[in-house]
Structure 1
Amino acid sequence: MTKDQKDNLFSLVKSLTKSEKRQFKLYVGRLGVNSDSKFLKLFNLLDKAKTYNEASILKSGIVKKSQLANVKAHLYKQILISLKLNPSHQNVRLQIREQLDFASILYHKGLYKQSLKILDKAKELAIVNEEKNSAFEIVELEKIIEAQYITRSINTRADELAVQAKELSSQNVIASKLSNLSLQLYSIILKTGYVKNEEESQMVTQYFNDRLPNIKGKKIGFREKLWLYKAYLWYSFLLQDFLNCYKYASKWVDLFHQNPSMINHNPVFYLKGNNYLLESLFFIGNKPKFIKKLDQFKSVVDDTKFNKDENVSTLIFLYTNFHTINQHFIDGSFEEGLNLIPEIENDLITYKDRTDPHHKMIFYYKFASMHFGAGNNKTCIKYLDKIISNKTLSMREDLLCFSRVLNLVAHYEAGLDYHLETLLRSTYKFLIKMNELHEVQKEMIKFIRGLQDIYPHDLKNAFKELHKTLKTFEDHPFERRAFLYLDIISWLESKINNKPVSEIINAKYLSKYPS
C-alpha cells in the first residue's frame, strides 16, 4: 500500500473551515476574470479530493505539468491573503502590522504628518498590548521621518523618541535573552528529560545562571515577566524541583489573570501555563488542588469569550484530556479512568491532522498505564507496542525507556513468559544505547531476569527484597524520576499484600488527603 503524498497546499486547503472556503471564493470572485481561472479550478479539485495525487491533477487537464508549480504557488498565496482578511483571524498583531504598512506607504508618498499620526496610534496600541518589538520598529520609522526636519515638530520630540527607543531596546534585549534561555532549557528537557546525576545538575545550574539576564532595577513588563517565569519553570522541571515548578507555573497563570486582556491576546501561552501548573500539581500529588485548578481552567476555555482557532482548540483538547486522565493516577482510580479512553481515541481521529506523533504516543503511554493499573495487562501491552514498534518516533527518551520497562512488567504480570528473555535482552540493549540505565531499571531487569530461578514459595520474599532496595531510591534526587512514569513501589506492595495496585495507591492517597 503506497503512502499518501504530502503537500503543503493540499494540507492548507483541507484545514479550511466552510466559512473560510466561502470567503475565499467570494474573495477571488470579486474580479470576474478569476471565475474561470486555473488556480480556482485547482482549489475546487483539491477541496473535493480525499488525498493529494499529482497524477490525477494533471489528468484533469486543469494545468500542464510545466504550469503546476506556479499555479499551486499562486493559489497558496491567494488563500493566505483571503485568510488574512477573514475577521476570525484578525488580532492586535495584524492590526499593528497593517497600520505600520499604511504609515510606510504614506511616508513614501510624502504625506509625513499623516504617516506620523498613524504611527503614534499604532505605537500606543503596541505598547498597551506588550508588542514591544513592533513598538520599537514604529519608533525607528518615526525617527527616520523626524530626522529629515520635515515636520518641524516640538523641540523635545527628538529626546522623547531617543528615550523611548532606548527603553524599548533594553526591554527587547531582556525579553530576547529570557526567551532564548527558556527555549534552550525546553529543548534539553524534550531531548533528554530530567537531569540524571549531580554532574548534569551542576551543568544545568551553571548553564541557567550564566544566561539569566540581570533584571535588578530594570523596568520589566508583562512580556518580560512571562519569559522569566518560563525560564525558571523549565529550570525547576529539569531539576525535578516540582514545588518550584508549581510556584513559577502559578506566577505564570496569575500574571494572565492580573492582565485579563492578555488571555485572548496570547491564548497559547495562557493554555501552556495552565498545562504546566496542572502537571506540577500532578507530580506533587495534590488532587484537591489539582481538581480545583482543572475546573478553573475548563471554565475559562469553555467560556464563549475565550477566542479559539484551530491551534488553540487542539491545545485545549490535548491539555484537558491529559489532565482529566492524570487525576486518576493520583489516587489510583484506574477503573473509573478507563471510561475516558474510547472517547479520547475517537477525538484523536478528529484531531489527527493537528496532533503531532509525540503527543499521540503520550496518550498511548497513559492508556497503557491506566490499563496496567486496572490489571488489564494484555491491553496495556497492545498500547505499548504502538510506541515501541514506531521506529521513526521522535519522542522524549525517558518516555521511550519507561515504555519498554513497563512492557517487561506487563508481560510478566500477564504470564507471557515464553519470550521474556528476548524482551529482557532487547530492553537492556535499548537502555544502554540511550544511556538511560539507572539504578531502578538495573534492579528491575535483574529481578525479572532472576524470576525463573525463584521457587513459588520464595516469590513474596523476593518482592520484599526488591521493594526494600527500591525504597532507598524513592526520594533520591535523580533516581526518583523512574517512579514518575511507573509506580513500581506500589506494584511491589500490591504483590506483597495480595491487593490490586489501585487499592495500594488509593490507600496512600487517602493517608495524605483523608477528606
Structure 2
Amino acid sequence: MTREQKDNVFMLIKSLSKSEKRQFKLYVGRLGVNEDSKFLMLFNILDKLATYDEAVILKKGIVKKQQLSNLKAHLYKQVLISLRLSPSHQNIRIQIREQLDFATILYHKGLYKQGLKILDKAKTLAIANEEKNVAYEIVELEKVIESQYITRSLSNRADVLSIQAKELSQQNVMASKLSNLSLQLYGLFLKTGYIKNDKEYKRVTKYFNARLPKYNLETLGFREKLWLYKAYLWYSFLTLDFLSCYKYASKWVNLFYENKDMIILNPVFFLRGHHYLLEALFYLRHYKKFKETLFKLEAVTNEKWFPVDDNVDGLAFLYIYNNKFNLHFIEGSFHEGLPLIDDVLGRLKNYKDRIDEHHIMVFYYKIASMYFGAGEHKKCIVFLEKIISNKSLQMREDLLCFARLLNLVAHYEAGLDYNLDVLIKSTYKFLIKMEDLYEVQKEFIKFLRGLGDIYPHEVKAEFIKLHKKLKEFEDDPYQSRAFLYLDIISWLESKIENRAISLVISDKFRNNLHR
C-alpha cells in the first residue's frame, strides 16, 4: 500500500472551516491582487483535492515544478496571515503581542510617549493573564524607550522598571525549570513506563529531586503552580504513587476552577489536567468519583463559553473517549461498550492530522481490549496487529509488551493455535530484549511456553497453579501495575470457573461497589 503524501500547505488548507476560507478570499481581495493570482489559483486547486497530488497540480499548468515550492511557501504564509487577522483567532495572547508590535513601530517612528502608553496597557493585560514571558519583553522595551525619553512624571521610574524586570525574570526562570522537569519526566514515562523495582524508584527520585527548584508556594503565580503540580504529577505516575497522582491532578484542576478566565486562555492544560485526574481515579478504581469527573468534563466542554478550535476539539475527543473506554473496563460492561468502537474509529478519521500516532495506538489497544472482554477474539487480534506491526513508531515499551501478550491470549481463545508456538517464540524474543520484566510477565510466558506439553484434561489444573502464583503479585506495588494493562487474573478465573471474562470482571465490580 502506498503511503499517502503529506504536504504542510495542503494540510493547513484542509483544516480551514468554510468561514476561514471565505475570510482568506476576502483578505486576498483586500490585497488588491489580480483574481488570477497564482497563489490564489493554487489555493483553489488544493481546496478541491481529496488527497495531495503534485502531478495534478502541475497538470493544471499554473506553475512549473521548480517554482512550485516557492509558490506553496508564499501561499502558506498568506493563509497564516489571514488566520491571524480572523476575529475567531483574536485571543488575549495574540492581542498582547499585537500591542507589543504596535509599540515597537511607534518607537522606531520616534513617538516614544505613544509607545509607552500602549506598552503600559499591554503589560497590565499580560500580567493579569499570566503571560509573563511577553510581560518581560514589554518591560525590556519600556527600559529601552525610557533610556531615550525620560518621563518627568515619575522620578523613580528606572527603579520601578528594574524591580519589575527582575521579578518577572525570576518567575519566568522558575516556570522554565518546572516546565523542563515536567517535560523530562513525561519523556521518561513514554520511554520506560512505570518503575518496576526499588532500583528504578531510587533513580527516578534522585533525578526528580536534583532538578526540582526551591520554591515558596505562597509566592508562586498561577503559571508556576501549574508547572509545579505537573512535575509532581509525573513523578507520582512514574513511581506508582496513584494517591499522589490524584492529589496533584486535583490541585491542577481546582487551580483552573479557582481561576476560570484561565480555562478560556489555556483550555489545553485544563483538558489535560482532567485526563490525568481521570487516569489516577481509574487506577485507584474510585468508580463514583471517576464517573462524576468524566461526565462533568464532557458537560463543561459542551458549554457555550468553552473555547473551541481544531486543537481543543481533537484533545477533548481524545481524553473523553479514552476515559469512556476506561469506564466500561471498570464496570466489566464490554458488550455495552462495543458501539463506542465504531464511534471512535469514525472520529479518528476526522482527527487523523491532529492526534499523534502514539495516541492512536493507545486507542487500538483499548479497542482490542474491549473486543477481548466481549469475547470477539478475532477482532481483538486485528487491532493488536496494527500495534505490533507498526515498526515506524517509538512507543512505550510496556504498551508494546502487553499488546503482544494479549495477542497470544486472544489467539489461544480464538482456537488459532496452529501458529501459537511461533507467536510464543517471537513474543519471548521481544520480551527478553526488555530490561527488568515484571514477574507477572515472566510467569505468564513460562506458562504459555509449557502449554504445548500439557494434555487437554490437565489445562485447568495449570490455570489454577498459575492463578495462585499471580495472586501473590496482586498487592505488590511494582508488580500489580501489570494487571492494569491485561487483567490476567480475571482471565484465569474465567477459565477456571468456565465463565465469560466480562461476567467475572462485572461481578468483582458489583461486589466492590457494595462494600
Q: What's the TM-score once normalised by structure 1's chain length? A: 0.97
Question: Which residue number in structure 2 is paired with residue 7 of structure 1?
Answer: 7
Helix, strand or coil: the match of 2:477?
coil
1:351 maps onto 2:378 in alignment: no
Say which is worse superposed, 429-438 or 325-334, in terms of deviation: 429-438
Question: Which residue number in structure 2 is paired with residue 115 of structure 1?
Answer: 115
Helix, strand or coil: the match of 1:394?
coil
Please list, as runs of the form range in 1=range in 2, the aligned pairs for 1:337-416 lying within 5 A after superposition: 337-416=337-416
Q: CA RMSD in A?
A: 1.4
Question: Which residue number in structure 2 is paired with residue 311 of structure 1?
Answer: 311
Distance 1:424 1:43, change over 3 A: same
CA contact (8 A) 2:217 2:225 kept: no
CA contact (8 A) 1:112 1:151 kept: no
Please list, as runs of the form range in 1=range in 2, the aligned pairs for 1:29-40 lying within 5 A after superposition: 29-40=29-40
Helix, strand or coil: the match of 1:110?
coil
1:105 maps onto 2:115 in alignment: no
Describe the superposition over 1:213-255 as per-residue Cα deviations: whole angstroms up to 9, x where unpaired.
1013762100000000000000000011111111110000000
Say which is worse superposed, 309-318 or 68-77, in terms of deviation: 68-77
Question: Which residue number in structure 2 is paired with residue 506 of structure 1?
Answer: 506
* Whole-Å separation in 2 of the counterparts to 1:331 and 1:4: 39
Question: Which residue number in structure 2 is paired with residue 279 of structure 1?
Answer: 279
Please list, as runs of the form range in 1=range in 2, the aligned pairs for 1:144-159 lying within 5 A after superposition: 144-159=144-159
Question: Which residue number in structure 2 is paired with residue 322 of structure 1?
Answer: 322
CA contact (8 A) 1:401 1:436 kept: no
* Whole-Å separation in 2 of the counterparts to 1:64 and 1:499: 67
* Whole-Å separation in 1 of the counterparts to 2:309 and 2:386: 30
* Whole-Å separation in 1 of the counterparts to 2:514 and 2:336: 20
* Whole-Å separation in 2 of the counterparts to 1:338 and 1:60: 46
Distance 1:341 1:66, change over 3 A: closer
**1:296 alignment partner AA:** K
Question: Which residue number in structure 2 is paired with residue 78 of structure 1?
Answer: 78
Length, aligned pairs only = 515
Shift of 1:437: 3.0
Shift of 1:363: 1.2
Helix, strand or coil: the match of 1:33?
coil
Say which is worse superposed, 238-247 or 3-12, in terms of deviation: 3-12
* Whole-Å separation in 1 of the counterparts to 2:400 and 2:419: 20
**2:379 alignment partner AA:** T
**1:382 alignment partner AA:** V
Question: Which residue number in structure 2 is paired with residue 496 of structure 1?
Answer: 496
CA contact (8 A) 1:23 1:86 kept: yes
Question: Which residue number in structure 2 is paired with residue 453 of structure 1?
Answer: 453
Shift of 1:203: 0.8
CA contact (8 A) 1:34 1:40 kept: no
CA contact (8 A) 1:171 1:219 kept: no
* Whole-Å separation in 2 of the counterparts to 1:279 and 1:306: 23
Q: Percent identity?
A: 67
Distance 1:238 1:19, change over 3 A: same
Please list, as runs of the form range in 1=range in 2, the aligned pairs for 1:17-416 lying within 5 A after superposition: 17-216=17-216, 219-416=219-416
Q: What's the TM-score once normalised by structure 2's chain length? A: 0.97
* Whole-Å separation in 1 of the counterparts to 2:353 and 2:24: 22
Question: Which residue number in structure 2 is paired with residue 463 of structure 1?
Answer: 463
Helix, strand or coil: the match of 2:4?
coil
Shift of 1:473: 1.3
CA contact (8 A) 2:112 2:149 kept: no
Helix, strand or coil: the match of 1:435?
coil
Distance 1:499 1:261, change over 3 A: same
* Whole-Å separation in 2 of the counterparts to 1:149 and 1:79: 39
Shift of 1:394: 2.6
* Whole-Å separation in 1 of the counterparts to 2:479 and 2:405: 15
Q: Gapped runs of 5+ residues in structure 1?
A: none
Describe the superposition over 1:338-397 as per-residue Cα deviations: whole angstroms up to 9, x where unpaired.
121112111112222222221111111111111111222122112111111222223221
CA contact (8 A) 1:28 1:34 kept: no
* Whole-Å separation in 1 of the counterparts to 2:383 and 2:70: 44
Distance 1:412 1:247, change over 3 A: same
